[in-house]
Amino acid sequence: MFFKLSFRNMQRSFKDYTIYFLTLVLGVAIFYMFNSIESQTVMMDISSSTREIIKLMTNVLAGVSVFVSLILAFLIIYASRFLMKRRHKEFAIYMTLGMSKQQISSLLLCETFFIGVMSLVIGLAIGIALSQLMSIFVAGMFEVDMTSFEFIFSYSAMMKTILYFAIIYVVVMFFNVFFIGKQSLIDLFMSQRKNEQIKIKNLWLCSFIFVVAVGMLAYAYYLVTAGVATLDNANKIWIPIALGIVSTFMIFYSLSGFALKIMMSKKSMYYKNLNAFTMRQLSSQMNTTVFSMGMICLMLFMTICVLSSGISIKNSMSTELKEMTPVDIYMYKYWDLSHQKDNKKTYTQQEIDDSHIRIDQSLEAVDFSIDDYFKDVFIFNDYATNDLTMKDTLGKAYDDIHQQYPYLKLDTAESIMKISDYNQIAKRYGLETYTLNSDQYLIVGNF
C-alpha cells in the first residue's frame, strides 16, 4: 500500500516535484563531471608538464566539488522543506483518516527514496554523457590530439558521487521524518492560513545596521577591486569573503525590519487600494526568508564570480600567450666554443668545428632543412665582450641595483646586436623599431 500510495503521490504532485527532481539530477550530473576529469585525461597523449597542470586542476576541482556538495545539500533541504509546506493539508488528511506519524514518515521515506534513486540514475547518465564533452573541451584547451578518443567511464567518480549523494539524502530523509514528528494536526490544517507573527523592529536600530552593512560590503568590494594589492597573502582573501557574507545577511535583516515600518508611516500610500493587504502578505514571511534570501544571493554572487573569473583567466592566458610568444621557435648556438670558458664541460673537436658554422648549416648537417618545416625564418648574430658588462651599462645605478638584487651577476657581458637585426626581430614581436646614427647606441631594458 505504501509503494502504491507513494507512486500516486508523485504522479499527482509531479509539478511540485519537478523543480526538486531537476535540482537533484543537475547536482548529480555536475558532481560526476567534476570528479571524472582526472579519468578523462589519463588516456590523453600529453607531456608530463601538461599532465602536472591537469593534475593540479583536478585537485582544485576536487576541493570545489566538496563546496558544491554543501550547496547542493542546502538546495535539496530547501526544496524538500518547500514541498513539505505545500503538503501540510494532505498530511493532516492522512492523520484524520487514522494514519500515525510513523506511517506518514514511512510514506515520505518511500517517496524520497524513489525520487532519489531516479534522480541518481538519470543524473549519472547525463553526467557520463556530459563528461565526454568535458574531455573534448579539456583536450581542445590543451591542444591534445583527439584521433584516438574513446568513451571513458570513471568508476571512482561514480562511487564518490553515490557516497556524497547518499549522505545528503540521509540528512534529507531525517529532516522530513523530524518535520512530521513535531507537527500537530491543527497546525497542519491551519498552516496556510497562519501568518508569521510580524515583529516591527526598531527603525533606528535597523537603519544603523543597514548603514554599517552597506559600509562593510563596500569595503569588501574595495578590497577585491581597487585595493587588491593589499591582499598580498592568501589568508587575507578570507577578510573580504567574511565581510561579504556577514554584511549580506545584515542588509536583508535590516531591510526586513524597517521596510514595512517605512510603508506604514506613509498613510496615503499604505491605505491606498490594496497596498496594506499586499505589504502584510509580503511581510508575513519576511523574517523567515532572511536566511534563504541571503544564501541565494551569496550563491548567485559566487556563481557569477567563478564564471567571470574563469572566463577572465582564459582570456588573459590566451592574450598573454599571443603577446609573449608571437614566434613558434627560438634556437641559438654559441660561436667558437674554443674560446668558451666552462670548467664543468670540455668540448669535443666536433663540437668546436660545428661552432664555426651558422645554425642553419648545423641543422642541414643532420638532415634537417629549415625551409621544409618553417616559414618566415630570420637568422641574426648576438655579440658579447667582457669589456662591456651589465655593471658598465648601469652606471650610477649600480649600487642601488646591487642592493635590491644582491644575487644578480652584474659582471655578465652585455648582449650586443646590430640595429638592423633588432628591427627585424622587433617587427615579428610587434615592437617599436628605431633608427640610429653612426655615433649613437640604444639600450633596451628587458629585465
What gap in Å lies between CA 393 and CA 402, rounded to an integer? Answer: 13
Domain final residue, candidates 325, 340, 356: 325
| Cell matching residue 398 | 649600480
Q: Are 64 and 3 within one domain?
A: yes
Indicate whether 94 and 180 sit together in one domain: yes
Neighbour tally for 195: CB within 10 Å: 11
Looking at residue 422, what is its pLDDT? 94
Are both 337 and 392 inside the same structural domain? no
Do both 82 and 187 map to the same domain?
A: yes
Asked if residue 32 lies in contact with residue 124, where contact means CB atoms within 8 angstroms, the answer is yes
Q: Name the residue range of residue 393's domain.
A: 380-447
pTM for the model: 0.54
> What is residue 163's predicted lDDT score, i.e. its pLDDT?
85
Type of residue at 312: S
- Is-contact 258 231, C-beta < 8 A? no
CB atoms within 10 A of CB 39: 18
Domain count, the chain: 4
Does one domain contain both 300 and 217?
yes
Helix 48-86 to helix 155-181 angle, to the nearest 10 degrees? 20
Residues 159 and 38 reside in one and the same domain:
yes
Last residue of a domain, one of 194, 224, 251: 194
Q: 24 and 76 in one domain? A: yes
Same domain (yes/no): 128, 183: yes
Picking from 411, 373, 376, the residue whose alpha carbon sits closest to that of residue 394 is: 411
At 188 the pLDDT is 66
Rounded to whole angstroms, how far apart are CA atoms 62 and 220? 27
Handedness of CA 308, 309, 312, 318 (dihedral sign): negative
For residue 386, what is its C-alpha cell?
A: 667582457
Same-domain pairing of 154 and 213: no
Can you tell me whether residue 389 is helix, strand or coil?
A: strand
Greatest Cα-to-Cα distance within the chain, rounded to the nearest angstrom: 108
Closest CA to 116 of 165, 78, 160, 164: 165
What pLDDT was estimated at residue 171?
80
Helices (H), 225-348: 238-265, 267-270, 275-284, 289-324
355 and 390 fall within a common domain:
no
Domain boundary among 341, 374, 407: 374
What gap in Å lies between CA 64 and CA 68, rounded to an integer? 6
For residue 183, give the nearest of 47, 310, 85, 65 by alpha carbon: 85
188 and 53 assigned to the same domain: yes
What is the full per-residue pLDDT of the chain (447 aa) written as tens digits?
Answer: 767 777 777 667 667 677 777 877 887 887 787 777 766 655 555 666 666 766 776 677 666 667 767 777 777 777 777 777 777 777 778 778 887 777 777 777 777 777 778 888 898 888 888 887 777 776 666 666 666 666 777 788 888 888 888 887 788 777 777 777 777 766 666 665 555 555 556 667 778 888 898 898 888 888 777 776 676 666 777 787 788 888 888 887 777 666 667 777 777 777 777 777 776 666 665 656 666 677 777 777 776 666 666 677 777 777 787 777 888 888 888 888 877 665 567 888 888 888 899 898 999 888 988 888 888 889 999 998 889 998 898 889 888 988 888 888 888 889 999 999 999 999 888 889 999 998 999 998 866
pLDDT of residue 162: 85
- Statement to judge: residues 392 and 446 lie in one domain: yes
- Cell matching residue 127: 553526467
